[in-house]
Amino acid sequence: MALAHAILVSLLDRPHSGYEISKRFDKTVGFFWRARKQQIYQELHKLAEDGLVSAETVEQVDRPNRIVYSITDDGRQTLDDWVREPTPYPSVKEELLVKLFSLGDVEVPVLVDQVRQRLAEHEERLAYFQSLMKTHYPKPATLSGRKLGHYLGLRLGVMNEESGIAWCKEALLLLERPKAGAH
Amino acid sequence: MALAHAILVSLLDRPHSGYEISKRFDKTVGFFWRARKQQIYQELHKLAEDGLVSAETVEQVDRPNRIVYSITDDGRQTLDDWVREPTPYPSVKEELLVKLFSLGDVEVPVLVDQVRQRLAEHEERLAYFQSLMKTHYPKPATLSGRKLGHYLGLRLGVMNEESGIAWCKEALLLLERPKAGAH
DNA sequence: CTGCTCATGTAATCGGTTACATGATTGT
DNA sequence: ACAATCATGTAACCGATTACATGAGCAG
């Protein structure tokens, strides 16, 4: 279990449809836990079967009906138990690292391009996180509850991007440095 | 494809058996790309079928035979093509973040414990990376080729752990702060 | 008339984890 | 005696991705 819990957490605030959860994921939690909409729909079915969420169809005119899910007491209990379990260290799949390990058999400029691309992505994400920071959390000193959790998530995002940027710059310096011993 | 490439990169240096690759993964690449030994054995079979590696059985007395794999020209070409492809942003699955998003419904001390645990893990990994750094790369200024790639991998590890540690400390300060408005 | 948003799903496949299976040698 | 290391694998399952499928309304 894992995505199940992320969905349950989303429902703590208020009920949501699968579509809404999917959209929310893209903008907030999705930066730390990616999930496709198909997976969210399927997971919601499972959660409903297990009685951790309850479903209610909301009829709509001129557009498809929505199925709105709410967390149940069982769901709340499941979440609470899960939060107390030890948290596994996040699993990393960093292809760029694997590519760097091939240095020597692949020309340096190819890898320089890859690092530059990554740097641009980090900077874009950092800018996005910082804009969220400004609009939603101008003064973090007064936060509490759910809001504080969201703020800390954003802070982790900012700090990760910053350290990624620092690494890219260092890597570029070393990769683009004229070869030692070249005349 | 992804693990396949990580294995091919491992074979650039010299031929290895599945067992050796598995051990190597645990100590080096595995910090950035985890894989179980079963998966490595199976992937090696696939790679051999596709002609990207060649297998040779080495008979041994008093212990099981080894199957030693070497990268083929086709394998090298496949790797080279892959390195040139755009690198996807690493997929993150950070459960701790999801747990923090439940703040307000779960008691703060539970999450404080989780963050403390994470901090300890970061510090352990950082110490390990730094010890590798000292023994293998005392002066990075003179590195080139494969060695430089490995060094940069280690640097990314160090920097990630450092930023993780900084985040944990900040999070603990905010979580343990006496509640605003409490008398 | 093209593409976007809203809204839900099924099916096939791939990648990864867990469990199961074997067996000799070396070190404590 | 017991655990660890060396050395290889199969089978079942679960989780995630990709492809396929539908269909109305609205903005440019």
Residue-wise pLDDT tens digits, A132-165? 999 889 887 788 788 899 999 999 999 999 999 9
Whether the CB of A36 is below 8 Å from some CB of chain B: the reply is no
Q: Write down the pLDDT at residue B10.
A: 93
Residue-wise pLDDT tens digits, B44-75? 999 999 999 999 998 777 778 899 999 999 99
Confidence of residue B182 (pLDDT cuts 50, 70, 90): very low
Which residue from A83, A117, A140 is facing B106, i.e. has the nearest CB? Answer: A83
Confidence of residue B28 (pLDDT cuts 50, 70, 90): confident
CB B106 within 8 A of CB B115: no
Look up residue B93 and give its amino acid: K
Whether the CB of B100 is below 8 Å from some CB of chain A: the reply is yes
Distance separating alpha carbons of residues B24 and B40, to the nearest angstrom = 11
Q: Write down the pLDDT at residue A30.
A: 84
Question: Lowest mean pLDDT: which of A111-120, A173-182, B119-128, B138-147?
Answer: A173-182
Crossing angle of helices A3-13 and A73-84, rounded to 10°: 120
* Whether B62 CB is under 7 Å from strand C: yes
pLDDT over 90 at B112, yes or no: yes
Confidence of residue B145 (pLDDT cuts 50, 70, 90): confident
Task: Test A95 with B90 for CB contact under 8 angstroms.
Answer: yes
Q: For residue B144, with 0-12 CB atoms within 10 Å meaning exposed, 13-18 middle and 19 or more buried, which class applies?
A: middle
Q: What are phi and psi of A122, to 5 degrees?
A: -60, -45
SS3 string, B129-181, reads HHHHHHHHCCCHHHCCCHHHHHHHHHHHHHHHHHHHHHHHHHHHHHHHCCCCC
pLDDT over 60 at B15, yes or no: yes
Q: Write down the pLDDT at residue B178.
A: 67
Q: Write down the pLDDT at residue B60.
A: 77
Q: Write down the pLDDT at residue B181.
A: 46
Residue B101: DSSP 8-state: T
Q: Write down the pLDDT at residue A27.
A: 84
Below-50 pLDDT ranges, chain A = 181-183
Whether the CB of A97 is below 8 Å from some CB of chain B: the reply is yes
